Homo-oligomer: A and B are copies of this chain.
Amino acid sequence: MTTRWLTGKEQRAWRAYIAATHLLEDAIDRQLQQDAGMPHLYYSILANLSEAPERRLRMTDLAEKSKITRSRLTYAVTRLEKDGLIRREDCQWDKRSSFAALTDEGMAVLERTAPGHVETVRAAVFDHLSEEQVERLEEISSAIVRALEGEETPRPTSDEVPWRRRSSPCSGSS
Closest CB pairs A-B (n = 4): A16-B141, A13-B138, A20-B141, A20-B144
Q: Does A90 contact B (CB under 8 A)?
A: no
User: Would you call A143 and B121 a contact (CB within 8 A)?
Assistant: no
Distance between Cα atoms of A70 and B127 in the complex (Å): 30
Min distance, Cβ A79 to any Cβ of chain B, angstroms? 19
Which residues A136-174 have CB closer than 8 A to chain B? 136-149
Taking the closest CB of chain B, its distance from the CB of A65, in whole angstroms, is 9
Chain B residues whose CB sits within 8 angstroms of the CB of A143 once the complex forms: 125, 128-129, 133
Q: Is the CB of A144 within 8 A of B115?
A: no
Size of interface on A: residues with Cβ below 8 Å to B? 55
The residues of B that contact A6 with a CB separation of less than 8 Å are 118, 121-122, 126
Task: Among B22, B122, B135, point to the contact of A13 (Cβ < 8 A).
Answer: B135
The answer, yes or no, to whether A10 is at the interface (CB within 8 Å) is: yes
A residues within 8 Å of B by Cβ?
3-6, 9-10, 12-14, 16-27, 44, 67-68, 114-115, 118-119, 121-129, 131, 133-149
Q: Is A24 a contact partner of B129 (Cβ separation < 8 A)?
A: no
Q: Among the listed B17, B25, B26, B127, which residue makes an inter-chain contact with A141, where contact means beta carbons less than 8 Å apart?
A: B17
A41 to B83, CA, bound (A): 31
Q: Known contacts A121-B6, A125-B14; is A133 also within 8 Å of B139 by CB? A: yes
Decide: A19 and B145 in contact? CB cutoff 8 A: yes
A7 nearest CB across to chain B (Å): 8
In whole angstroms, what is the CA distance A27 to B145 when docked? Answer: 11
Q: Which of B9, B13, B137, B149 contacts A17 (CB 8 A)?
A: B137
Name A18's closest neighbour in chain B (CB-CB). B44
